[in-house]
Amino acid sequence: MSLSFTLEPGRNCIAEGQRRGPSRKRAVLVTGAAGRIGSYFAHNAPQGRYDLRLMVRGDEDAGQIEALRAFGEVVEGDLADLEGLKRLCEGIDTVVHMAADPSPSATWGDLLPANVIGTYHVFAAAKAAGCRRVIYASSIHAVSGYPADVQVKTSDPVNPGDLYGVSKCFGEALARYMAEKEEVSAICLRIGAFQPVEKAQDPAAVGLMDAFVSHRDLCQLIARCIDDEQLRFAIFHGVSDNRFKRLDISDARELVGYAPADDFTEVNPALRHLRLSEQVGSHSLTDSGQESGIREEVQ
Protein backbone atom coordinates (compact mmCIF):
# COMPACT_ATOMS: atom_id res chain seq x y z
CA MET A 1 0.00 0.00 0.00
CA SER A 2 2.88 2.37 0.68
CA LEU A 3 3.63 2.53 -3.05
CA SER A 4 0.09 3.41 -4.12
CA PHE A 5 -0.29 6.80 -2.45
CA THR A 6 1.65 9.89 -1.44
CA LEU A 7 0.75 12.65 0.98
CA GLU A 8 0.78 16.37 0.45
CA PRO A 9 4.08 18.03 1.43
CA GLY A 10 4.29 18.49 5.19
CA ARG A 11 1.95 15.57 5.93
CA ASN A 12 3.54 12.67 7.75
CA CYS A 13 0.41 10.60 8.37
CA ILE A 14 -3.34 10.57 7.96
CA ALA A 15 -4.96 12.20 10.98
CA GLU A 16 -8.22 10.53 11.98
CA GLY A 17 -9.68 13.75 13.26
CA GLN A 18 -9.12 15.46 9.91
CA ARG A 19 -11.39 13.08 7.97
CA ARG A 20 -14.24 15.50 7.63
CA GLY A 21 -15.79 17.71 5.03
CA PRO A 22 -13.93 20.84 3.96
CA SER A 23 -14.61 24.13 5.69
CA ARG A 24 -15.75 25.73 2.42
CA LYS A 25 -18.02 24.64 -0.38
CA ARG A 26 -16.00 23.17 -3.23
CA ALA A 27 -16.68 23.83 -6.91
CA VAL A 28 -16.71 20.46 -8.70
CA LEU A 29 -16.72 19.77 -12.43
CA VAL A 30 -18.15 16.36 -13.37
CA THR A 31 -17.33 15.18 -16.90
CA GLY A 32 -19.64 12.55 -18.33
CA ALA A 33 -22.39 13.92 -16.11
CA ALA A 34 -25.11 12.28 -18.20
CA GLY A 35 -23.53 8.84 -17.83
CA ARG A 36 -24.58 6.24 -15.28
CA ILE A 37 -22.06 7.17 -12.59
CA GLY A 38 -21.88 10.88 -13.30
CA SER A 39 -25.64 11.36 -13.25
CA TYR A 40 -26.07 9.31 -10.08
CA PHE A 41 -23.41 11.38 -8.34
CA ALA A 42 -25.05 14.61 -9.51
CA HIS A 43 -28.40 13.48 -8.12
CA ASN A 44 -27.03 12.10 -4.85
CA ALA A 45 -23.93 14.10 -3.89
CA PRO A 46 -24.05 15.33 -0.28
CA GLN A 47 -26.64 18.08 -0.34
CA GLY A 48 -25.25 21.59 -0.16
CA ARG A 49 -21.61 20.50 -0.02
CA TYR A 50 -20.59 21.19 -3.62
CA ASP A 51 -21.27 23.66 -6.40
CA LEU A 52 -21.59 21.28 -9.32
CA ARG A 53 -20.73 22.05 -12.94
CA LEU A 54 -22.07 19.15 -14.98
CA MET A 55 -20.45 18.56 -18.37
CA VAL A 56 -22.48 16.82 -21.07
CA ARG A 57 -21.82 16.31 -24.77
CA GLY A 58 -25.12 17.90 -25.75
CA ASP A 59 -26.43 14.98 -27.80
CA GLU A 60 -27.91 13.10 -24.83
CA ASP A 61 -31.62 12.74 -24.14
CA ALA A 62 -33.11 16.19 -23.59
CA GLY A 63 -35.09 15.05 -20.56
CA GLN A 64 -31.99 13.61 -18.94
CA ILE A 65 -30.08 16.85 -19.42
CA GLU A 66 -32.99 18.89 -18.11
CA ALA A 67 -33.16 16.73 -14.98
CA LEU A 68 -29.51 17.50 -14.27
CA ARG A 69 -30.23 21.23 -14.11
CA ALA A 70 -31.82 20.78 -10.69
CA PHE A 71 -28.45 19.77 -9.26
CA GLY A 72 -25.96 22.14 -10.84
CA GLU A 73 -24.83 24.18 -13.82
CA VAL A 74 -25.13 22.09 -16.98
CA VAL A 75 -22.49 22.87 -19.61
CA GLU A 76 -21.59 21.32 -22.95
CA GLY A 77 -18.05 20.16 -23.54
CA ASP A 78 -15.95 17.95 -25.79
CA LEU A 79 -12.94 15.97 -24.62
CA ALA A 80 -11.24 16.80 -27.92
CA ASP A 81 -11.48 20.54 -27.24
CA LEU A 82 -8.62 21.45 -24.89
CA GLU A 83 -9.31 25.18 -24.92
CA GLY A 84 -12.97 24.58 -24.18
CA LEU A 85 -12.06 22.29 -21.27
CA LYS A 86 -9.77 24.97 -19.86
CA ARG A 87 -12.71 27.37 -19.77
CA LEU A 88 -14.92 24.80 -18.08
CA CYS A 89 -12.23 24.20 -15.43
CA GLU A 90 -12.00 27.88 -14.48
CA GLY A 91 -12.92 28.39 -10.83
CA ILE A 92 -13.09 24.63 -10.22
CA ASP A 93 -11.52 22.99 -7.17
CA THR A 94 -11.97 19.31 -8.15
CA VAL A 95 -12.61 17.64 -11.49
CA VAL A 96 -14.42 14.28 -11.31
CA HIS A 97 -13.48 12.79 -14.66
CA MET A 98 -16.04 10.15 -15.63
CA ALA A 99 -16.33 10.71 -19.40
CA ALA A 100 -14.86 7.83 -21.43
CA ASP A 101 -15.61 5.04 -23.86
CA PRO A 102 -16.75 2.41 -21.31
CA SER A 103 -16.72 -0.70 -23.51
CA PRO A 104 -14.36 -3.53 -22.48
CA SER A 105 -14.58 -4.70 -26.10
CA ALA A 106 -13.54 -1.35 -27.57
CA THR A 107 -10.79 -1.22 -30.18
CA TRP A 108 -7.76 1.06 -30.09
CA GLY A 109 -9.40 3.38 -32.60
CA ASP A 110 -12.40 3.73 -30.30
CA LEU A 111 -10.35 4.23 -27.15
CA LEU A 112 -7.73 6.69 -28.34
CA PRO A 113 -9.89 9.85 -28.72
CA ALA A 114 -11.72 9.76 -25.37
CA ASN A 115 -9.74 7.51 -23.03
CA VAL A 116 -6.24 8.60 -23.97
CA ILE A 117 -6.26 12.00 -25.67
CA GLY A 118 -9.38 13.12 -23.82
CA THR A 119 -7.96 12.12 -20.45
CA TYR A 120 -4.77 14.04 -21.20
CA HIS A 121 -6.82 17.08 -22.15
CA VAL A 122 -8.77 16.96 -18.88
CA PHE A 123 -5.60 16.84 -16.78
CA ALA A 124 -3.91 19.55 -18.85
CA ALA A 125 -7.00 21.77 -18.56
CA ALA A 126 -7.14 21.22 -14.82
CA LYS A 127 -3.49 22.21 -14.53
CA ALA A 128 -3.96 25.31 -16.69
CA ALA A 129 -6.97 26.44 -14.67
CA GLY A 130 -5.31 25.90 -11.28
CA CYS A 131 -7.60 23.09 -10.11
CA ARG A 132 -6.57 21.43 -6.86
CA ARG A 133 -7.45 17.83 -7.76
CA VAL A 134 -8.63 15.45 -10.46
CA ILE A 135 -10.51 12.29 -9.49
CA TYR A 136 -10.00 9.86 -12.34
CA ALA A 137 -12.46 7.06 -13.07
CA SER A 138 -10.22 4.07 -13.65
CA SER A 139 -11.59 0.55 -13.71
CA ILE A 140 -11.23 -2.97 -12.41
CA HIS A 141 -10.17 -3.71 -15.99
CA ALA A 142 -6.78 -2.12 -15.22
CA VAL A 143 -6.04 -5.24 -13.14
CA SER A 144 -8.50 -7.80 -14.54
CA GLY A 145 -5.63 -9.80 -16.04
CA TYR A 146 -4.91 -11.31 -12.64
CA PRO A 147 -6.40 -14.77 -11.99
CA ALA A 148 -9.81 -14.77 -10.33
CA ASP A 149 -8.37 -16.26 -7.14
CA VAL A 150 -6.03 -13.27 -6.58
CA GLN A 151 -7.21 -10.38 -4.43
CA VAL A 152 -5.54 -7.37 -6.01
CA LYS A 153 -3.94 -4.71 -3.82
CA THR A 154 -3.56 -1.15 -5.04
CA SER A 155 0.21 -1.57 -4.78
CA ASP A 156 0.24 -4.55 -7.17
CA PRO A 157 1.45 -3.86 -10.72
CA VAL A 158 -1.23 -3.08 -13.27
CA ASN A 159 -2.36 -6.10 -15.26
CA PRO A 160 -5.05 -5.14 -17.76
CA GLY A 161 -7.29 -7.81 -19.23
CA ASP A 162 -8.23 -5.90 -22.40
CA LEU A 163 -7.37 -2.76 -24.35
CA TYR A 164 -9.97 -0.82 -22.38
CA GLY A 165 -7.98 -1.72 -19.27
CA VAL A 166 -4.80 -0.61 -21.03
CA SER A 167 -6.37 2.81 -21.59
CA LYS A 168 -7.17 3.02 -17.88
CA CYS A 169 -3.57 2.12 -17.00
CA PHE A 170 -2.51 5.08 -19.14
CA GLY A 171 -4.86 7.32 -17.14
CA GLU A 172 -3.43 6.07 -13.86
CA ALA A 173 0.12 6.70 -15.02
CA LEU A 174 -0.80 10.17 -16.23
CA ALA A 175 -2.55 10.89 -12.92
CA ARG A 176 0.56 9.99 -10.95
CA TYR A 177 2.76 12.12 -13.18
CA MET A 178 0.43 15.09 -12.82
CA ALA A 179 0.32 14.67 -9.04
CA GLU A 180 4.01 14.15 -8.44
CA LYS A 181 5.51 16.44 -11.11
CA GLU A 182 2.82 18.95 -12.09
CA GLU A 183 1.30 19.61 -8.64
CA VAL A 184 -2.25 18.59 -9.55
CA SER A 185 -3.43 16.18 -6.86
CA ALA A 186 -4.99 13.06 -8.35
CA ILE A 187 -6.94 10.10 -7.01
CA CYS A 188 -7.68 7.13 -9.26
CA LEU A 189 -10.76 4.99 -8.53
CA ARG A 190 -10.70 1.48 -9.98
CA ILE A 191 -14.44 1.07 -10.24
CA GLY A 192 -15.92 -2.42 -10.08
CA ALA A 193 -19.34 -3.58 -11.28
CA PHE A 194 -21.40 -0.44 -10.69
CA GLN A 195 -24.94 -1.71 -10.40
CA PRO A 196 -28.15 -0.83 -8.57
CA VAL A 197 -29.10 -3.10 -5.69
CA GLU A 198 -32.02 -4.35 -7.80
CA LYS A 199 -29.56 -5.73 -10.35
CA ALA A 200 -27.52 -7.38 -7.61
CA GLN A 201 -30.69 -9.04 -6.34
CA ASP A 202 -31.16 -10.89 -9.62
CA PRO A 203 -30.18 -14.55 -9.00
CA ALA A 204 -28.46 -14.52 -12.41
CA ALA A 205 -26.10 -11.79 -11.21
CA VAL A 206 -24.00 -14.08 -8.98
CA GLY A 207 -21.06 -13.46 -11.32
CA LEU A 208 -20.85 -9.93 -9.89
CA MET A 209 -20.29 -11.28 -6.37
CA ASP A 210 -16.65 -10.23 -5.97
CA ALA A 211 -16.71 -6.95 -7.94
CA PHE A 212 -20.08 -5.37 -7.09
CA VAL A 213 -20.14 -1.74 -6.02
CA SER A 214 -23.49 -0.23 -5.13
CA HIS A 215 -24.53 3.21 -6.27
CA ARG A 216 -24.47 4.67 -2.78
CA ASP A 217 -21.09 3.16 -1.87
CA LEU A 218 -19.35 4.59 -4.94
CA CYS A 219 -21.04 7.95 -4.42
CA GLN A 220 -19.70 7.97 -0.86
CA LEU A 221 -16.19 7.10 -2.03
CA ILE A 222 -16.18 9.88 -4.64
CA ALA A 223 -17.32 12.41 -2.03
CA ARG A 224 -14.63 11.32 0.42
CA CYS A 225 -12.01 11.73 -2.30
CA ILE A 226 -13.25 15.24 -3.08
CA ASP A 227 -13.19 16.22 0.59
CA ASP A 228 -9.75 14.80 1.44
CA GLU A 229 -7.07 17.44 1.98
CA GLN A 230 -4.10 15.23 2.85
CA LEU A 231 -3.38 13.09 -0.21
CA ARG A 232 -1.23 14.12 -3.14
CA PHE A 233 -1.89 10.89 -5.07
CA ALA A 234 -3.73 7.65 -4.45
CA ILE A 235 -5.28 4.64 -6.12
CA PHE A 236 -8.40 3.27 -4.46
CA HIS A 237 -10.58 0.31 -5.28
CA GLY A 238 -14.25 1.04 -5.77
CA VAL A 239 -16.11 -2.06 -4.62
CA SER A 240 -18.65 -2.55 -1.86
CA ASP A 241 -18.05 -4.40 1.40
CA ASN A 242 -18.59 -7.76 -0.27
CA ARG A 243 -17.67 -10.83 1.76
CA PHE A 244 -15.58 -11.91 -1.22
CA LYS A 245 -13.67 -9.01 -2.79
CA ARG A 246 -11.66 -9.21 -5.99
CA LEU A 247 -10.13 -5.86 -5.07
CA ASP A 248 -8.79 -4.94 -1.63
CA ILE A 249 -10.35 -1.81 -0.12
CA SER A 250 -8.32 -1.53 3.09
CA ASP A 251 -6.38 1.56 2.04
CA ALA A 252 -9.55 3.45 1.05
CA ARG A 253 -10.88 2.67 4.52
CA GLU A 254 -7.68 3.85 6.17
CA LEU A 255 -6.83 6.90 4.10
CA VAL A 256 -10.20 8.53 3.41
CA GLY A 257 -12.49 6.70 5.84
CA TYR A 258 -14.44 4.80 3.19
CA ALA A 259 -17.24 2.91 4.95
CA PRO A 260 -19.23 0.93 2.37
CA ALA A 261 -22.72 -0.04 3.45
CA ASP A 262 -23.53 -2.84 1.01
CA ASP A 263 -22.46 -6.47 0.60
CA PHE A 264 -23.45 -8.46 -2.48
CA THR A 265 -23.85 -11.65 -0.46
CA GLU A 266 -26.43 -9.94 1.75
CA VAL A 267 -28.62 -8.61 -1.08
CA ASN A 268 -28.56 -11.48 -3.60
CA PRO A 269 -31.27 -14.06 -2.81
CA ALA A 270 -29.23 -16.90 -4.27
CA LEU A 271 -26.63 -16.29 -1.56
CA ARG A 272 -28.63 -14.68 1.24
CA HIS A 273 -30.29 -17.95 2.24
CA LEU A 274 -26.84 -19.48 2.74
CA ARG A 275 -26.26 -17.06 5.64
CA LEU A 276 -22.61 -16.74 4.70
CA SER A 277 -21.90 -14.29 7.51
CA GLU A 278 -22.72 -17.13 9.90
CA GLN A 279 -21.48 -20.12 7.91
CA VAL A 280 -18.14 -18.90 6.54
CA GLY A 281 -15.57 -19.15 9.30
CA SER A 282 -13.21 -16.33 10.06
CA HIS A 283 -10.54 -18.82 11.24
CA SER A 284 -9.83 -16.75 14.32
CA LEU A 285 -11.22 -16.27 17.81
CA THR A 286 -14.32 -14.70 16.34
CA ASP A 287 -15.39 -18.26 15.46
CA SER A 288 -17.57 -19.51 18.29
CA GLY A 289 -16.04 -23.00 18.26
CA GLN A 290 -12.47 -21.80 18.76
CA GLU A 291 -10.87 -21.17 22.14
CA SER A 292 -8.03 -18.88 23.14
CA GLY A 293 -4.62 -20.51 23.02
CA ILE A 294 -3.54 -18.68 26.14
CA ARG A 295 -6.56 -19.73 28.21
CA GLU A 296 -4.43 -21.80 30.65
CA GLU A 297 -2.01 -18.96 31.36
CA VAL A 298 -4.70 -16.38 32.13
CA GLN A 299 -6.87 -18.46 34.41
- For 55-93, write each residue's pLDDT tens digit: 999 998 999 999 999 999 999 999 999 999 999 999 999
Q: How many domains does the chain have?
A: 1
Any domain includes 68: yes
The CATH number of whichever domain residue 236 belongs to comes to 3.40.50.720
What is the chain's pLDDT, residue by residue, as a tens digit (299 residues)? 457 899 998 776 665 545 555 667 999 999 999 999 999 999 999 988 999 999 999 998 999 999 999 999 999 999 999 999 999 999 999 999 999 999 999 999 999 999 999 999 999 999 999 999 999 999 999 999 999 899 999 999 999 999 999 999 999 999 999 999 999 999 999 999 998 878 777 877 777 788 999 999 999 999 999 999 999 999 999 999 988 899 999 999 999 999 999 987 777 767 656 554 544 444 545 556 667 667 678 87
HSE-up (13 A, CA, CB side) for residue 113:
8
Whether this prediction's pTM lies above 0.85 is answered by yes
Q: Are the C-beta atoms of 115 and 164 separated by less than 8 Å?
A: yes
Any domain includes 156: yes
Please spell the DSSP secondary structure of 238-256, one letter per residue: E----SS-SB--HHHHHHH
Any domain includes 299: no
Any domain includes 291: no
Any domain includes 205: yes
Any domain includes 139: yes
Determine what percent of the chain falls in helix, strand and coil, rounding each to the nearest 5: 40, 20, 45
Any domain includes 275: no
Q: How far apart are CA 51 and CA 231, in angstroms?
A: 22
Cα angle 157, 161, 162; round to 5:
125
Provide the residue range defining the domain that includes 85: 5-268
